[in-house]
Amino acid sequence: MLPTETKDNTDSLKRALRLPCGVTISNRIAKSAMSEQLADRYGSPTRELEQLYAAWARGGAGLLVTGNVMVDGRALVEPRNAILESDRFLGAYRLWADAAHAYNTTILMQINHPGRVAVLPLTSRPLAPSAVTVKLPGLNLRVPRAMTEADIHDQVRRFATTAALAVKAGFDGVQVHAAHGYLLSQFLSPIANTRTDGWGGSPEKRRRLLLEVVRAVRGAIGPDRALSVKLNAADFQRGGFSQEESLDVALALEHEGIDLLEISGGNYESPAQLGFAAPEQIARDAYFLAYAEELRRRTKLPRMLTGGLRDVRIMSRIVDTNIVDIIGMARPFAVQPDIAKQLLSGEPAAALPRVPAIGYKPIDAYLQLGWHSAQFRRIAAGHTPRSLGGFCRTVVALGPRMAMNIATQSLSGEAR
């Protein structure tokens, strides 16, 4: 446990941070990515997304990382994800970036492909490293298609295309999502990736796709835009992506010249990022602090830690002692859009409201995501976030909307 006494609770958090690429972040509080599900049925950003990000920027965050922007419109994490494959909606993306820049806030676009966890029932046979199912109700009935060499190179190209369009639209850079059990995270996992070719079979080969994506993205955005990667400290599954292997990946990413590593953890089967980790993990003031401490001893790569941080004194001490450079928060921004200003003034974060749960972690994680998405809609409309009620009321509030979004979602190309 870190000591909580500091002489000044906010000075270290108020300092600007200049990334290696030259992009400057005005303070050390970041809104980490959450899936907003606020694009239109074709994947274009909406006025709601602009208003939501304007509220967060106005609320004092130095850095905003968007929720999933999909690199392939045939494979979504959830319906109403934003999709950026061409310049078709570039004007709407410019307005999204402008909403953050109006308040001197840096904004990175998180770019992602879901792989084998693409949303049901829109994708009947998703792409994956290997034909290995996800051990969750519903998803376990769907066997993904192992990617061919051509599929792999196509996705590298798609990540680069989306990244180039992001900076063309005015975003300060991109974050490549390689955590939480999505496609790049699946390639890193010995459980999901059972390949024996050049893309699997050893830690070096399992990380190959991530490194090739990073190289392609850097080539697409140039040296003066920020390139971040979100990486699991571990998957928290027996036989899965381990902390030691993750540390090696982090060092390889430093060698590739990324500007910021965001540390997270978990996946659909073990959602540690939402607080559903082992008791000894969530008992700490930050879920992945031990990994961050170890990484500090090995690298000078700028680091952002997300997960469980709530005490402003501990946040300040973590930055003061150079364990990490940026404090990432996600769920607190869904209930208090100006939480960054509050923390920077030295006031503690309010306790998060209780989200209804049934005791089955994967389902509870979906309830968390849906509950927070409802709060995003309220913030975008200028309303105060509020409780949805108990379990039944929450399901009633979220279920029909999700069903309608799925029924009316348009996919580009043919669904797989």
Domain that holds residue 319: 11-408
With bands split at pLDDT 50, 70 and 90, how would you rate the model's confidence at 4?
very low
Q: Which residue has the tokens 């946040």?
A: 315
CA dihedral 257, 262, 266, 267 (to 10 degrees): -70
Q: Is residue 6 part of a domain?
A: no
pLDDT exceeds 50 at position 272: no
pLDDT tens digit sequence for 61-92: 999 999 999 999 999 999 999 999 999 999 99
What pLDDT does residue 357 have?
A: 83
Structural domain contains residue 402? yes
Task: Note whether residue 3 is domain-resident.
Answer: no
Q: Per mean pLDDT, which range of 98-107, 166-175, 361-370 is the poorest?
A: 361-370
Residue-wise pLDDT tens digits, 128-164 = 999 999 887 767 678 999 999 999 999 999 999 999 9
Q: Computed over its alpha carbons, how large is the radius of gyration of the chain? A: 20
For residue 200, what pLDDT band results from cuts at 50, 70 and 90? Answer: very high
- Decide: 97 and 107 in contact? Cβ < 8 Å: yes
What's the residue count for the chain? 416
Strands 260-264 and 226-232: parallel
Confidence of residue 387 (pLDDT cuts 50, 70, 90): confident
2 part of a folded domain: no
**Beta-strand runs (E) in 71-156:** 82-83, 106-112, 127-128, 145-146
Distance separating alpha carbons of residues 371 and 368, to the nearest angstrom: 5
Residue 413 domain-assigned?
no
Q: How far is CA 284 from CA 95, 188, 307, 397, in A?
A: 39, 26, 10, 33
Q: Considering its fold, how many domains does the chain have in total?
A: 1
Convert the pLDDT of each residue in 301-331 to its tens digit. Answer: 999 999 888 889 999 999 999 999 999 999 9
pLDDT at 268: 63
Model confidence band, residue 269 (pLDDT cutoffs 50, 70, 90): low
Q: What is the pLDDT of residue 339?
A: 96
pLDDT at position 367 is 81
Partners of residue 228 on adjacent β-strands:
175, 260
pLDDT at 138: 67
What pLDDT does residue 284 have? Answer: 44
- Around Cβ 214, how many Cβ atoms within 10 Å? 22
pLDDT (0 to 100) of residue 158:
98
We report the CATH number of the domain holding residue 193 as 3.20.20.70
Kindly state the greatest CA–CA separation across the chain. Answer: 59
DSSP states of 166-229: HHHTT-SEEEEEE-TTSHHHHHH-TTT----STTSSSHHHHTHHHHHHHHHHHHHH-TTSEEEE
Q: What is the pTM of this model?
A: 0.92
Distance separating alpha carbons of residues 405 and 156, to the nearest angstrom? 28
Asked if residue 4 belongs to a domain, the reply is no
Q: Is residue 56 part of a domain?
A: yes
- The answer to whether position 414 is within a domain reads no
At residue 286 the predicted structure's pLDDT band, cuts being 50, 70 and 90, is low
Query: Could you read off the pLDDT of 341-382 as tens digits, one per residue?
Result: 999 999 887 777 888 888 877 677 778 888 888 999 999 999
